Amino acid sequence: MPALEVASEAGPGTAVVTTTWDTVLWGVLPYVMVVVLVGGLVWRYRYDQFGWTTRSSQLYESRLLRIASPLFHFGLLAVIAGHFFGLVIPMAWTQAVGMSQEFYHFNALLVGGIAGVATLGGIALLIYRRRTSGPVFMATTRNDKTMYVVLTAAIVFGLWTTLASVFEGEHGHNYRETVAPWFRSLFIFQPDVAAMAAAPFSFHLHTLVGMALFVIWPFTRLVHAFTAPLHYLFRPYIVYRSRDTANGRRTTGPGGRSRDRTAAGTRSQVAPRRGWSPVGTPDRDTHNR
Amino acid sequence: MRVMAQMGMVMNLDKCIGCHTCSVTCKQAWTNRAGTEYVWFNNVETRPGQGYPRRYEDQDRWYGGWSLNKRGRLVLRAGGRVKKLFGIFASPVQPELKDYYEPWTYDYKTLVDAPLGDDFPVARPKSLITGEDTKITWSANWDDNLGGSRDNGHLDPLVERVRRESEDKIRFAYEQTFMFYLPRICEHCLNPSCMASCPSGAIYKRVEDGIVLVDQDRCRGWRQCVTGCPYKKIYFNHKTGKAEKCTFCYPRVEVGLPTVCSETCVGRLRYLGLFLYDADAVTAAASVTDPQDLYDAQMNVLLDPHDPAVQAEARAQGIPEDWIDAARRSPVYALAKVYKVALPLHPEYRTMPMVWYVPPLSPVVDLLRDQGHDGEDAGNLFGAIDALRIPVEYLAELFTAGDTERVTAVLRRLAAMRSFMRGISLGEDPDESIAGSVGMDGQSMYEMYRLMAIAKYSERYVIPKAHVEQAHDLEELGCSLDFDGGPGMQDSSPLGEASGRPVPVAVDTFHALRERQTTDEIASGPGLRGRVNLLNWDGRGAPPGLFPDTPTAPGAGSGPGERP
């Protein structure tokens, strides 16, 4: 591997040697990830509204779900908030308001640790439920299984970086001097590759798995997070809609209505009826399994 | 005043024989799919009984519908917006499959494939959820005809309440004396709590006809509507992850056909028609303090379509002339507001339901007959209605939030009609005093009788068609559950179950069906556009396109092989 050696001055005082790999991973890949994420979400939103759902399995089993799902989701919300504080708020800001480095880290590790453990515990319980509860396992697709692997890996590796900081204590790695500047630099299209390259392996791994998660995000059930119904707080209770505008958004899709109409005859022969699959058991409908 | 039109239904419970034909045809039309095996948009319950899902009327457990807060304002019983959002990760009070039932099929293959042996092969029940062998323990009508029995009667939440209120004096000996059937569909409420519960705003009420639908594209499967609906008439499709509900057969109604449940009803007990109502008055009407006043409040929201002021306002709101005319001829308006014999189901949920019920007089008549009395004599009937506290109290819990006087008044009207018409059938002069005793006159009593007893198809179903200029839009509604297209849905597409591009509704099938039902000619509408739908071919003649065109070579006469 021919190394493209670039000395950086953005790191925490020390010049770091970055390789082509570093450039690809921390300079190119994040943008590829964003393109896939945004492009995938737009594509899915336009073409697969019908598949855009939580795909809840509460109907099958709710005893475990009632504990595991809120544990996981609320934990995850705390984790996201933690990422925001850690990555977006510059160290200088917290110091400016008089927050010492020790206090910040103690807080981050305590809250982050609790949130991470809650999230991990939640997803562990959810996976256990998914595997052991017959109907839930039956309803689990390959897509779901892939997503669970990546999601769990992201959480485990993330927790690892947190726990590592705990055990290393004072000598631990300060991600606010490496990962966070790199993260912010991405937004001004001047990726600080060297800063990220200086971070330890655990952070690299967590970041990569995290990017993988965002890449598959638009193509899994995780999309429901992007339609979190916050507008519920503001909308009127009773919704009136005219027949004429019942599908306002769909008609704006590519091809428009006129093409849909003419294509209906041919497409209906190949396109499945939405939400329609025959009732049956495996012994009866072998062709359908 | 904001006049809006609402499709409504009235069911005359006296005529229901509990045959479940409506349920079966509805299921075949709408929920005969994977994911909706346990779903019955239309179900028929035996009353007293637990209903489907079990004990759905126990709102202390299911928190459906609306209630008033301390300041007298209408709030969702399951909690406000913030509370709902915090509970979104695991819906706190959602019925599970066991509250409905575990759907099953039978292992018919064994019957065919079993090798020859001494024992008969058995088709074991198989769960449609797990695919495993299962034990059938409950269904959507498990306690059919067991209403009021010692084993099941006490499980009915209404029986519990009646007993509590009458300090446990009631014994089942009384309760066994009556039983009736209650067919239920979505109420298409004026103030729907399912809609208010939906975080995504996917449930909507159509401006034109008030039908409540779930936009399948916008539903994200948060499940709050299942909790919100006190009638538990929103179901979660566990395959697609979307909420589904009774659609009032909107593709049929749009072309003037009655709903499937109405069309196939053996007892012809269902009436379809329009209400005109004041949309601005709904919230205030649903917020009246005393639940027993809700019936009157709901009646006041309904506007008189014969009133010129109402008509003028309706025109101003853009309601077409033929719709206003249909509202004037509406059988449901007549039964609900003119004759006042149809009552809403559970008005105390404050949702302003728009499927109405004529309470059954038959249990009273049957009891009189069994005891050797003349079951159609006005005096006997009036006396029996007053004496039979239990059925009346039970019906009051169902239809008037416990107001027995209201139910009694309706039953007396029905009883009076029976006696009045019996007199006429026996060749006696119409006894105006019978009609007068229930606040009617002979003429209106006779008209009510006509509507309730011998109304023809076109009088029972007064359905204004959707307008032709809108027909183009109707083909691609965002809410449809049913789309034209072949079977062959893969079990899981790459993006999860049932993902993919939407396919337009084929309304032309319904147009053809309607044409076939109403024409004397060969039904081959222009709507088919050169295609032949054999399902709509009535066997008369050969619609063009049925056979391939024969090449017409010059000079070729009609040979023996030519089709007639």
A chain contacts of residue B531, beta-carbon cutoff 8 Å: 265
Are B224 and B88 in contact, with CB atoms under 8 Å apart? yes
| pLDDT grade for A29, boundaries at 50, 70 and 90 | very high
For B429-439, the pLDDT digits (tens) are 888 999 999 99
- Which pair of tokens denotes residue B126? 């198989």
pLDDT for A212 beyond 90: yes
Residue A171 half-sphere exposure, CB side, CA atoms within 13 Å? 2
β-partners of residue B243 are B236
ipTM for the predicted complex comes to 0.81
B chain contacts of residue A260, beta-carbon cutoff 8 Å: 476, 504
Q: Which of A60, A73, A279 sits opposite B128 (nearest CB)?
A: A279
Residue A38's H or E segment, with its range, is helix A29-47
Mean pLDDT in residue range B116-133: 90
How large is the C-alpha radius of gyration of chain A?
A: 23
Cα–Cα distance, B408 to B412 (Å, whole number):
6
Are B334 and B272 in contact, with CB atoms under 8 Å apart? no
Contact check, Cβ <8 Å, A144/B496: yes
Nearest alpha carbon to residue B187 among B25, B394, B42, B323: B42
Contact check, Cβ <8 Å, B483/A276: yes
The single residue listed with the structure tokens 């003429």 is B443
Report the alpha-carbon angle B356-B357-B361, nearest 5: 165
For A245-259, the pLDDT digits (tens) are 544 433 333 333 333
B81: distance to nearest CA of chain A, Å? 6
Q: Which of A134, A274, A278 sits opposite B487 (nearest CB)?
A: A278
For A123-150, the pLDDT digits (tens) are 999 999 999 988 899 888 899 999 999 9
What integer pLDDT is reported at residue B469 of this predicted model? 53
Cα–Cα distance, A62 to A18 (Å, whole number):
50
pLDDT for B385 beyond 80: no
Contact check, Cβ <8 Å, A51/B201: no
Contact check, Cβ <8 Å, A51/B498: yes
- The nearest alpha carbon in chain B to A76 belongs to B89
The amino acid sitting at B299 is: M
Contact check, Cβ <8 Å, B199/A232: yes
What integer pLDDT is reported at residue A277 of this predicted model? 74
For B38-73, the pLDDT digits (tens) are 999 999 998 888 899 999 999 999 999 999 999 999
Cα–Cα distance, B399 to B13 (Å, whole number):
12
Instruction: Find the distance separating the first CA and the last CA of chain B, reported in whole Å.
Output: 63
- The nearest alpha carbon in chain A to B81 belongs to A233
Residue B320's H or E segment, with its range, is none
A chain contacts of residue B84, beta-carbon cutoff 8 Å: 232
For B196-212, the pLDDT digits (tens) are 999 999 999 999 999 99
Q: Which of A243, A247, A281 sits opposite B466 (nearest CB)?
A: A243
A chain contacts of residue B39, beta-carbon cutoff 8 Å: none
- The nearest alpha carbon in chain A to B196 belongs to A237
For B159-189, the pLDDT digits (tens) are 888 777 765 555 555 445 578 899 999 999 9
Cα–Cα distance, B353 to A245 (Å, whole number):
25
Report helix angle A179-187 to A63-88, nearest 10: 80
Size of interface A-B (CB pairs under 8 A): 289
A132: distance to nearest CA of chain B, Å? 12
Burial of B524 (0-12, 13-18, 19+ CB in 10 A): buried
What integer pLDDT is reported at residue B558 of this predicted model? 43
Of B373 and B120, the one with more pLDDT = B120
What integer pLDDT is reported at residue B553 of this predicted model? 55
